[in-house]
Amino acid sequence: MPLLQHRNVMDIPEKTRRHGLISTIFKCYRKSFVIFWGIMLPFIILSLLFELPNILLADLPTSESLWHFDTSRGISVGTNPERVGVDWGTHFVYAAISVDLLWLAMCPLAFVTVQRQRGPKVPLRTVWKQTTHNTGAILALFFLLALPAFIAATIVLILIEVFQDLPISHNTLEILAILMIICFFSIVFYFMINSSLCNQTVVFEKLRAIDALRRSSKLIRPVWSRFFRMYVVLAWATVVLTSTLLGVTLLIFSFTVPEFIPVRDLLLSSKGFILFLGGHIRISFAEAPNFWTVGVMATVNTLIDATVAPIWAILTTHLYLERSGIKPDATKM
């Protein structure tokens, strides 16, 4: 039985809805700031407990591994790039464990978003009591969404290996690899957008994982392109925010840690503006300069994700209310 009553919102012009939605997001975030961060705190701690050991233990047996301090990913260990020093470029990537863990925060954040629209403040204890029973469905959703991406990535890797054994030119192989990667990300983005209202359907309609996926897809499919545009804009803003704040962190390091001095000139030059376009600046070391710099980069990256998570929750919750034609003051939880 539906938990919410229907209302007509689609008669409002799209431009008016968009401007009203932006205003609502900021108002909701401001009013619920304390409880949002009360929700995020345990997820921040869990994220750091997973991320720091993952960074410190990754690829340590490999002598070629380098420590990378990057304005798009924070801190990582690996062999790409293969040289020590400073470099810069552009890419569009999320590569933090915290992003995966923050997925679990979407249900309580969505619950608070609706409750705050009804007026009275809701205690944090009530939020956990009302939403923790949805954890199983959310984990099942995560598995169901990760499975197609894993299968698609496996197929792409197998095809690339097969093509490498065929008598074709290197340029042709590169073109085929690029086309397959584009197909892979197209499939991933399609499923991500279609499933973006799953958390709300679980919280407010008490649906199981499979039913939540179907319900979310049904709500989004008629206006898929609109959702795509909104998500691309917010994702780009998230990337720019991440690059800028991590860039500021690296700049502070360049004044406090001698090993980071080479990155200062790049950050303060005209190339530093690439951070405002979603680009990245990276400095790589054979060994980590100081352990505390690793902790600071990981913490800043996690706090950025925790800051953006409520915005995504508010946006998707309001889009869910709009598409399902419901009003929050009729919610019974």
Confidence class for position 2, pLDDT limits 50, 70, 90: very low
For residue 110, the tally of other CB atoms under 10 A from its CB is 27
Instruction: Please provide the average confidence, as pLDDT, over all residues in the chain.
Output: 79
- Which pLDDT score, from 0 to 100, does residue 62 have? 55
The answer to whether 116 touches 31, Cβ cutoff 8 Å, is yes
- Which pLDDT score, from 0 to 100, does residue 61 have? 45
The answer to whether 304 touches 245, Cβ cutoff 8 Å, is yes
Q: Domain ranges for the chain, please list them.
A: 14-64+96-253+296-330
- Indicate if the pLDDT at residue 332 is higher than 60: no
E-strand ranges in 191-304 read 279-285
Give 6's DSSP letter.
B
Mean pLDDT computed over 181-204: 87
Helix spans in 257-290 (H): 261-268
Confidence class for position 5, pLDDT limits 50, 70, 90: very low
Mean pLDDT computed over 55-83: 68
- Indicate if the pLDDT at residue 10 is higher than 50: no
Confidence class for position 275, pLDDT limits 50, 70, 90: confident
Q: Higher pLDDT residue, 75 or 304? A: 304
Q: 223-273 pLDDT, tens per residue?
A: 999 999 998 888 888 888 888 898 899 999 989 988 888 888 888 888 778
pTM greater than the 0.85 cutoff: no
36 vs 53: CA distance, rounded Å: 27
Residue type, 224: W
Residue 266 CB-half CA count within 13 A = 21
